[in-house]
Amino acid sequence: MSRRLDGVVRRCYASAVAQGALLFTESTVHKRNELGVEFEVRYVPALAAKPSTKPSEKQSAKDFVNPFQPYDERLHVATLGGASHNLLLNKYCVVPHHLLITTATFQRQGERLGEADFAAALDTVDGLAREQIVFYNSGEESGASQPHKHMQVLPMPEDMDEPPSTLLWLRSSSPPGQVHTADILPFAHFGVRLASGRLSPSGLTAAYTAALGELARIHGPDASYNMVMTRSAIMLFPRRQSSWHGISINSLGFAGLLLCKTREEQALLDSVGILHALTHVGFPRLDRTTPCSC
């Protein structure tokens, strides 16, 4: 897909806002330096009115309607992968041009990602000029809310080259093609450095599968986890709970980009530290480096 996707996203976004199909929510950003890296805490008071619901709870509700099947045509940006996936605008938007990659047919959120998923993700990021963060919330404790399988794509903050957690992890010496744990991060994680300039759906799938295999071996095959992917790395973070002191945390939180709905939550993160909070919803780190066939 060519970089012309940039223009398509901008036009669709403007049209969806004008039609009331997309609801943009104002927020303010607070920076916090930990281990020499700027983490981002975004204060979004409108989130206080939005209930935090896990996928199984939402799907079992009598009034549940799957927003991705059928999707709102006003939010549709593109069809991907020979119609295997759809690229949609996120209806509830805190950052402009937040995208969703949804499966065209129903698959359960939490199913393993496959080559078709990564092909759709690669098509999307290759079509956009600005660097993106791709993430996936898998399992009941991952911060996921919708039961229909989807990845999310968010523009990288303009003052960042990598998400904070990924940046810290990349500072460790991990050659491409190995599942690696870095000493600097206190919570469990399984990362694979990607070979620069040689991203492919098969290579991304192999890296993800290797990291997920290590995560499942240690934390069990049904463990909830978050995935964060950039052009530099794929990182997986096992989860034991979806929130901490009322602060809901998903993949973006483990990337180092957190959302708070009250000033009290923001003050708590300032008091105890972001890495400390992430360790509470994740697991303490286990040091391990293993090869993968990426």
Catalytic residues: 150
Cα separations (Å) of 41 from 32, 33, 44, 242, 252? 7, 11, 10, 17, 10
Strands 132-138 and 224-229, sheet pairing: antiparallel
Of the candidates 212, 89, 238, the residue with the CA atom closest to the CA atom of residue 153:
89
What 3-state DSSP class applies to 78?
strand
- What interhelical angle do 201-219 and 115-126 show, nearest 10? 130
Concatenating the DSSP letter of every residue in 125-172 gives: HHT-SS-EEEEEEESTTTT---SB-EEEEEEPPTT-SS-HHHHHHHTS
Q: How far apart are CA 271 and CA 206, in angstroms?
A: 39
Of the candidates 235, 100, 96, 199, the residue with the CA atom closest to the CA atom of residue 155:
96
Q: Is the dihedral of CA 229, 160, 9, 71 positive or negative?
A: positive
**Count of CB atoms within 10 A of residue 66's CB?**
14
Cα separations (Å) of 271 from 268, 276, 277? 5, 10, 10
DSSP annotation of 81 = G
Of the candidates 125, 142, 145, 144, the residue with the CA atom closest to the CA atom of residue 134:
125
